[in-house]
Amino acid sequence: MTLAAPSVHLSGAAMLEGRPLFGQLDLTMAAQSWTCLLGSSGVGKTTILRLIAGLDTAAIFDGQITASDNTPLRGRIAYMAQTDLLLPWASVLDNVCLGAHLRGQTADKDKAEAIIARVGLTAHKQKKPATLSGGQRQRAALARTLMEDRPIVLLDEPFSALDSRTRSEMQELAAEMLDGRTILLVTHDPGEAARLGHVIYIMSSQGLETADSLSPPLPRSFADKDVLALQSTLLTQLRSAG
C-alpha cells in the first residue's frame, strides 16, 4: 500500500422496483478506520457496499460516492462478498492468488502461503473449495481479500460462517492486517461491531443512525465489560429500529 487510505463518502438515495430502498443518506467511511454497518435484512447494506465497490445492484442510485483525496476509487478497493465467490476449479492457493492472475501479474506465492497460514488453512491449500467446510471457504475468501492489500476494504459479513472461537481469532487477524486501511464492515453481530468499530451505523427503513462506539485501540477484547455493554446497547437499538 502506497497512498494513505482516504475517507470515502456516500451520499444519495436508492430506488428498487419503483419504490425507495433507502431515502437520502450520508455514510462516511472514516479514513484509516473501521466503520461498521448494522441493520436488519433487506434494508440495503449489501447494496451500499456494492455501490461503493462500483458493482451492479438491483437498485437505481441517485447520488455521489467520493474519496477525500479526490482520486477515483476504481482499483483501490478490495471487496469480500457475502458469498465466498471462490472459483470451484481452483485450489485455495490459486483462489487466494486470483487477483494477481486476473491482472496478468505474477502472484507472490510466499505471501499467499503466509496469509493462508494465518487463516489456518495450510493443510488445505491445495484443496478445491467443494471439499472445504463453509467456515474454511469463508477463511479462504478472507485470505484472498487480505492478499489484495488495498487501501479501501469492503467486508460483507466476513466472519458469519465461523465458529465462535475462529470468529474471534479472525476478527483479531483482520484488525491487525488491515490496520491503516479504510474499512466498511457489514455485520449482523453487535458484539463484532463493538469490538471492531471506530464508527458504528445502524441502518433501518428510517435511514442511518450513528450509534455509540468505544475508543481505540482495536480490536477490543471480547470480554471487555465496555464491549459487552455496548453489544447489549446495540442489540437494543437494533430491536427498536424500524
Ligand X SMILES: Nc1ncnc2c1ncn2[C@@H]1O[C@H](COP(=O)(O)OP(=O)(O)OP(=O)(O)O)[C@@H](O)[C@H]1O
> For residues 168 and 187, which CB has a smaller minimum distance to ligand X in the complex?
187
Question: Which neighbouring-strand residues pair with 207?
Answer: 204
Cα 11 from chain centroid (whole Å): 19
Minimum distance of ligand X from residue 97's CB (angstroms): 28
Interface residue with ligand X among 29, 38, 43, 96 (CB under 6 A) is 43
Q: Which stretch binds ligand X (CB under 6 A): 44-52, 126-134, 160-168, 189-197?
A: 44-52
Residue 220 touching ligand X (CB under 6 A):
no
Would you call 178 helix, strand, or coil by DSSP? coil
Residue 10 touching ligand X (CB under 6 A):
no
**How many Å apart are CA 35 and CA 185, to the nearest integer?**
6
Cα 97 from chain centroid (whole Å): 19
Cell of 166: 475462529
Q: Which stretch binds ligand X (CB under 6 A): 41-49, 68-76, 127-135, 217-225?
A: 41-49
Q: Which stretch binds ligand X (CB under 6 A): 39-47, 122-130, 205-213, 216-224?
A: 39-47
Whether the CB-CB separation of 93 and 126 falls below 8 Å is answered with yes
Residue 185 touching ligand X (CB under 6 A):
no
Residue 229 touching ligand X (CB under 6 A):
no
Residue 133's contacts (CB-CB under 8 Å, 6 or more residues apart) are none
Q: Which stretch binds ligand X (CB under 6 A): 43-51, 127-135, 140-148, 158-166?
A: 43-51
x/- map, 54-83, ligand X, by CB under 6 A: ----x-----------------------x-
Interface residue with ligand X among 5, 31, 34, 45 (CB under 6 A) is 45
List, in sequence order, every beta strand (DSSP E) within the chain: 8-16, 19-29, 34-39, 60-67, 77-80, 152-156, 182-186, 199-204, 207-211
